[in-house]
């Protein structure tokens, strides 16, 4: 098979060290013969070639190969392949709508065509289509997710427009789920949209939801909603992720995968942990009846971005996901990250039995 250098490849030299790529994908090469061998191969793979053809090109070209042997070329080739910087001939098509994320999936070690097939086959519920949910739904659709279930009872209000960027002034008074469906269809007509313009006022309401591959919870009312969702997903063994904000902090997670991770009730993850105490629930409702959470577009977008990154990684089968067993908080006052442990508690009344069944 012929390979070529990925458009995602980049290289630089700092303090006599070769830096291949950027960010967490970057590899630092200090060995000088390996640097020379790697650079020679990279130039050879600017055109589609097999490894043998690339070596022949190197031998015929006027490269400085002092101290470079077959071991260095083999190592350089292995590095490029393992980091996703070599792609199959013809794999990258700049005219394809998914060409840019395909380069990212390749760096994650995934085959782009398989990723898009997986995303097309997924159904995701977006519970809450406000400041966070409208962004989440739009990006899932443009990523190629096959089906979305939009759940929100509200009509659009003027004050929503500061952060709910998928809506317009002329939309005021219309149902959010209808407006979001229209906006999504303008961006990816292939995504199938289901709308539920209804409040989820009980666990029974949630049980009426269709089956899903992932539920993204971006609604925060009523207060016990997160617990109902947690219990529904434990019943169905279906995954979900919570996303939102607390004043100046964006938050997402935990990503709950019943039977594999902890759930939302394994540990105390919010200050007012609601149990089966009707008096406490009623009291909290009274105290918070007037509450209107401060909300800005940038913080909504940060939360949505974190949840989307982890959600898409989960949907395409990545193992390394930051919010698995973690509730992640991004403090925008200093851009620090806090992670709250959400790992499995074998005594959890909701999910303890699920993982205990898998233990030896």
CATH number of 3-92: 3.90.930.70
The model's confidence at residue 65, banded by pLDDT at 50, 70 and 90, is confident
**Which tokens belong to 329?**
């908080």
Topology annotation, domain 112-356: Rossmann fold (3.40.50)
Q: Which residues contact 342 (CB under 8 A, 6 or more apart)?
A: 253, 254, 256, 261, 262, 264, 266, 267, 269, 325, 326, 327
Q: What's the confidence (pLDDT) of residue 289?
A: 79
- DSSP letter at 61 equals S
Read off the pLDDT band of 353 (50, 70, 90).
confident
Query: What pLDDT digit, counting tens, does each position of 53-63 carry?
Result: 999 998 888 77
Arithmetic mean of pLDDT, 136-162: 97
Mean pLDDT of 71-96: 93
Closest CA to 41 of 14, 22, 61: 61
Q: Is the Cα torsion angle 61, 66, 69, 74 positive or negative in sign?
A: negative
User: Cα(219)–Cα(205) distance, rounded to whole angstroms?
Assistant: 14
> How far is C-alpha 64 from the geometric centre of its chain's CA atoms?
43
- Per-residue pLDDT band for 277 (boundaries 50, 70, 90) equals confident
Looking at the predicted structure, is the pLDDT value of residue 112 above 70? Answer: yes
Say how many residues make up the chain.
360
Q: Place 130 in a pLDDT band, splitting at 50, 70 and 90.
A: very high
Is residue 81's pLDDT more than 70?
A: yes
Q: Does 164 have pLDDT greater than 70?
A: yes
The domain spans of the chain are: 3-92, 112-356
Averaged over 15-44, what is the pLDDT?
A: 93
Query: Which pLDDT score, from 0 to 100, does residue 233 have?
Result: 97
Where b means 16+ CB within 10 Å and e means fewer, 121-156 reads ebbbbbbbbbbbbbbbbbbbbebbbbbbbbbbbeeb
Q: What percent of the chain has pLDDT over 90?
A: 83
- In the prediction, which pLDDT does 292 show? 78
What pLDDT is recorded for position 358? 54
pTM across the whole model: 0.90
- CA distances 158 to 153, 161, 172, 295, 304, Å, are 16, 6, 6, 14, 21
| Cα–Cα dist 11/85, whole Å | 11
Cis peptide before 319 (omega within 30 of 0): no
- Joined together, the tokens standing for residue 349 give 């009344």
Structure tokens at 358: 């898998």
pLDDT at 137 (0 to 100): 98
Of residues 64 and 88, more confidence is placed in: 88
What SS3 class is residue 6? coil
Q: What is the pLDDT of residue 357?
A: 56
Distance CA 326, CA 15 (A): 37
Query: Cis (ω within 30 of 0) for the bond into 199?
Result: no
């Amino acid at each position: 098979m012929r390979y070529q250098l990925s458009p995602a490849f980049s290289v630089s030299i700092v303090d006599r060290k070769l830096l291949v790529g950027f960010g967490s994908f970057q590899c630092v090469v200090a060995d000088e013969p390996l640097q020379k061998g790697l650079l020679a191969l990279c130039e050879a793979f600017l055109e589609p070639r097999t490894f043998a053809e690339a070596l022949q090109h190197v031998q015929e070209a006027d490269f400085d190969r002092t101290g470079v042997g077959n071991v260095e070329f083999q190592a350089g080739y292995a590095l490029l392949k393992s980091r996703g910087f070599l792609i199959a001939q013809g794999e990258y098509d700049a005219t394809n709508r998914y060409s840019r994320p395909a380069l990212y999936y390749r760096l994650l070690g995934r085959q782009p065509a398989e990723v898009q097939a997986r995303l097309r086959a997924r159904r995701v519920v977006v519970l809450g289509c406000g400041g966070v949910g409208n962004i989440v739904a739009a990006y899932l659709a443009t990523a190629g997710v096959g089906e979305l279930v939009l759940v929100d009872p509200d009509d659009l209000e003027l004050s929503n427009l500061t952060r709910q960027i998928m809506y317009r002034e002329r939309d005021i008074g219309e149902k959010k789920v209808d407006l979001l469906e229209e906006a999504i269809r303008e961006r990816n007509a292939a995504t199938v949209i289901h709308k539920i313009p209804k409040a989820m006022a009980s666990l029974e309401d949630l049980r009426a939801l269709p089956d899903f591959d992932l539920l993204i919870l971006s609604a925060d009312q009523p207060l016990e909603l997160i617990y109902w969702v947690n219990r529904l997903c434990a019943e169905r063994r279906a995954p979900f992720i919570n996303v939102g904000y607390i004043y100046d902090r964006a938050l997402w997670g935990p990503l709950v995968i019943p039977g594999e991770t902890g759930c939302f009730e394994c540990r105390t993850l919010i200050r007012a942990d609601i149990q089966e105490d009707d008096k406490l629930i009623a009291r909290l409702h009274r105290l918070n009846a007037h509450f209107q959470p401060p909300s800005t577009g940038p913080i909504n977008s940060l939360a949505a971005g974190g949840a989307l990154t982890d959600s898409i990684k989960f949907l395409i089968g990545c193992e390394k996901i930051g919010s698995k067993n973690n509730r992640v908080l991004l403090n925008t006052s200093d851009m620090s990250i806090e992670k709250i442990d959400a790992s499995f508690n074998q005594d959890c009344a909701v999910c303890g039995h699920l993982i205990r069944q898998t233990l030896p």
